[in-house]
Structure 1
């Protein structure tokens, strides 16, 4: 792993684990917080400083147009969902859009049963793709980068994972929209969320489901992390709900071993769609990505490959 990422991982201070039913979260803090001023997508859309549309009237499943009219760079997190226009989408990688600029960005569809306009522009979803969807999408985007230097996902795999969530939760959604699954399970999700409160100065988390470590998330400072905490936690809850009756074999490593495995792993370097550098980790145990901008780690997500 890169020196910048390893330095961050060496500074992690873990909070006490919190558990509810089949899910455990260990929050953490990194003392040296990054002061970079990046605007979140939710705030940009709320303030009217950001506009997201189809790239043209006909649209393209794998791309949308983002216009950032702010004087501040815009941060889009890997897996953030936007809804409306011709179909709901999720962002394929963490992207920093320069101030006062526009860019077509790579996305994946999270609503297989619709391809018609229900609004001219996209709106913020308040949800992220589930951890299962994000994990497999991340892996397929990394493969696309190695083969063709493009941030393209395996769209069929995204739809299949969303269908699996619907099947596991016994849900029927008219357009197979992941957003609808979140809404229909909102009560159960809230019960989980009530158990996982954000800590002061928290800027990351490690998640276990059914006793297995499944994911690691970090955002560059606690102020920005606070905006994403509930959405990140929720992205694991919906998978925990779908796995309440499943069991896994005993896992061979805990959070400390997991962090060491990340540090020991080789990574590949790619130009980001926006500002900064996109680093990718892929091996038999882990898949992950991290974006570095101005020699600072902005966002990283790492997942264990616990399912075929």
Structure 2
């Protein structure tokens, strides 16, 4: 489905404890998508609660003739509580459907305002915890809530409603200062993230315009989980390439899809990932490096997931 020769690593960029390696792949210009952000801006997407609201389901209406692409982990704020999209989903043009979501604001259940696009996607630890819980047939929502609690504890900031987005807002100045200067290069369709000298994962969209819309969100999602270390790190591009090669060589298991997309999941000793295709073209490929401990005593009360990234 993906060949290592299709993935080109471009010149790396570094600042503070963050290093990124831009990724260039063959592009899917023939696939035309509307993203959630653009859909909200143009008034072509509507997100609402079910008639009898429930935590893990929302209704999305695509008013455009163009398929709507929702990206796993992107946040939608408002409604009765903030949510993240559970998986990457392609919704047909001029259609409405129920989608699976996870709550990222445990302490609120009451209408706030109409749903709108968030400036954030789920932090990398939360995405990893959610994916790991799913692969082990455990409670994904508990994993998300527990991960947000860990984020609050690490950042020593406690939102009144345990809202993930408020932790991002609280760290906004530091995040902005670090990611300023990381340029999107010509033809870039993805990025590999290195924090404190360690590869943490990669994200590829196979379309430069779609990648552009998620560039800052992705960088923030890894940075917010990190602790800055005042050290100089050597960037081993060959090792980075080997991480991608190992992900390609995994066994990809097809899973049930929500919309028009095809969904595949894969894992190895280092991490877990997913791949989504539409009309036999790959549209989203992601891989998160981390370790999962399902037996940690402090998590057992909530049937949750302890994650080390």
TM-score (norm 2): 0.88
Counterpart selection for 1:244 from 224, 228, 232: 228
- How far 1:20 sits from its partner (Å)? 1.8
Contact 2:16–2:230 (Cα < 8 Å) also in 1 = no
Residue 232 of structure 1 corresponds to which residue in structure 2?
218
Residue 34 of structure 2 corresponds to which residue in structure 1?
39
* Partner Cα distance (1:141, 1:48) in 2: 33
> Displaced runs of 4+ in structure 1, greater than 6 A?
250-253
**Counterpart check, 1:279 vs 2:274:** no
* Partner Cα distance (2:151, 2:272) in 1: 21
Residue 247 of structure 2 corresponds to which residue in structure 1?
262
* Partner Cα distance (2:217, 2:148) in 1: 17
Secondary structure of the residue aligned to 1:226 is helix
Residue 186 of structure 2 corresponds to which residue in structure 1?
200
TM-score (norm 1): 0.89
Residue 14 of structure 1 corresponds to which residue in structure 2?
9
* Partner Cα distance (1:70, 1:226) in 2: 21
Matches within 5 A, 1:73-88: 73-88=67-82
* Backbone CA RMSD of aligned residues: 2.1
**Counterpart check, 1:214 vs 2:200:** yes
Counterpart selection for 1:94 from 88, 92, 115: 88
Contact 2:44–2:64 (Cα < 8 Å) also in 1 = yes
Residue 284 of structure 2 corresponds to which residue in structure 1?
299
Secondary structure of the residue aligned to 1:135 is helix
Per-residue CA deviations over 1:251-285 (Å, capped at 9, x if unaligned) read 99821111111122111102310112100002332
Residue 66 of structure 2 corresponds to which residue in structure 1?
72
- How far 1:123 sits from its partner (Å)? 0.9
Where structure 2 has 5 or more consecutive residues not aligned to the other structure, the ranges are 292-306
Residue 303 of structure 2 corresponds to which residue in structure 1?
none
Residue 148 of structure 1 corresponds to which residue in structure 2?
none
* Partner Cα distance (1:305, 1:132) in 2: 8
What number of residue pairs does the alignment pair up? 290
Counterpart selection for 1:290 from 250, 275, 297: 275
* Partner Cα distance (1:33, 1:93) in 2: 20
Per-residue CA deviations over 1:151-192 (Å, capped at 9, x if unaligned) read x96111111111111111111211110111111111100011
Contact 2:44–2:62 (Cα < 8 Å) also in 1 = yes
**Counterpart check, 1:105 vs 2:99:** yes
Residue 296 of structure 2 corresponds to which residue in structure 1?
none
Secondary structure of the residue aligned to 2:76 is strand
Change (3 A) 1:246 1:88: farther
- How far 1:67 sits from its partner (Å)? 0.7
**Counterpart check, 1:132 vs 2:129:** no
* Partner Cα distance (1:291, 1:55) in 2: 26
